[in-house]
Copies of this chain bind each other. A is one copy, B any other.
Amino acid sequence: MNSYGHIPEATVARLPSYLRTLVDLAAVGVSTVSSEELAELSGVNAPKLRKDLSHLGTYGTRGVGYDVDYLRFEINGALGLANTRPVVVCGFGNLGRALANHTGFTERGFPVLAAIDTDPAKIGHTFDGVPVHSPSEIPEVVKHHLIAIAVISTPVEASQGAVDRLVATGIRSILNFSPINLTVPADVELRSVDLSTQLQILGFHLQKAVIDES
Binding site for B on A (CB under 8 A): 3, 7, 12-13, 15-17, 19-21, 41-43, 78-81, 83, 85, 87, 93-95, 97-99, 101-102, 104-105, 107-110, 148-149, 172-175, 179-181, 189, 191, 193-209, 211
Contact A42:B181 (CB < 8 A) given known A13-B201, A101-B94:
yes
Partner of A191, one of B78, B80, B99, B198: B198
A102 and B108 form a contact (CB under 8 A) = no
Among B79, B94, B207, the residue within 8 A (CB) of A203 is B79
Could you say which of B80, B108, B179, B202 contacts A104, with CB atoms under 8 Å apart?
A: B179
**Shortest distance between the CB of A158 and any CB in chain B (Å):** 15
Return the contact of A202 from the options B15, B42, B175 (Cβ within 8 A). Answer: B175
Query: Which residue of chain B lies nearest to A85 when distances are taken between CB atoms in the complex?
Result: B203
Which residue of B78, B81, B195 contacts A99 across the interface (Cβ within 8 Å)? B195
